[in-house]
Amino acid sequence: MNILDKLARGIVTSQAEETIEIARNLATVLPEEAVLALEGDLGAGKTTFVKGLAERWRIQEPITSPTFNIYNLYQGDRQLAHMDAYRLEKSPEIWEELMLEELIAPPFCLAIEWPSKLAFIPWTITHTLRFDARGDERKITLIS
C-alpha cells in the first residue's frame, strides 16, 4: 500500500522516529508546490513530522518550532517553509506582512501548523493531515 493510502487509513506510532519516517515517505510523493495543513493539539507530533520532511530534502539545520517568529524558511533539495499560525488572529493581511509569497519558489513545501488560525491560505492545499495524541500513542490521518 502506498503512503497516501496508509495515511488515509490512519497510522498509529509509538515513537517520534516513526513519525519522522512517515514524513520522509510522504515527502517523496509531493508535487513541486506542496502545501501541507497540519492539524492537531500541542504535542501531537506536527513539528516532529516537519523534521522528517527536512530530512528527506537534506536540510542540515535543526528544525525548531517557529511559534514566535511565525515561520522558518530552510533550503535543501527543496525549500521548506515551516509555519506555526498558533499566535495569529485570522488577519487577512498577515500574508503581506510575512512576505512568504515573495520568498518561496518551486520546488517548495509549505507546512502549516494551526492552519485554522489563518483567514485564508494563498495556495491550494495539497494535503491536510490530522495529528492526535492519546497517552504515549500518536496517530496521523490524511484528511484530504
Residues 9-28 interacting with ligand ADP (rule: CB under 6 A): 13-16, 18-19
Please tell me the distance from the alpha carbon of residue 38 to that of residue 118, in angstroms, as a whole number: 12
Please tell me the distance from the alpha carbon of residue 138 to that of residue 20, in angstroms, as a whole number: 12
In the complex with Mg ion, which residue's Cβ is closer, 65 or 128? Answer: 65
What's the Cα-to-Cα distance from 131 to each of 4, 38, 44, 58, 142, rounded to whole Å? 15, 7, 6, 24, 9
**Is residue 129 at the binding interface for ligand ADP, with CB under 6 A as the rule?**
no
Please tell me the distance from the alpha carbon of residue 16 to that of residue 34, in angstroms, as a whole number: 23
- Residues that bind ligand ADP (rule: CB under 6 A) add up to a total of 18
The span of 16-24, 43-51, 69-77, 131-139 binding Mg ion (CB under 5 A) equals: 43-51
Select the residue interacting with Mg ion from 65, 126, 128, 141 (CB under 5 A). Answer: 65
Binding site for ligand ADP (CB under 6 A): 13-16, 18-19, 40, 42-48, 65, 113, 131, 138
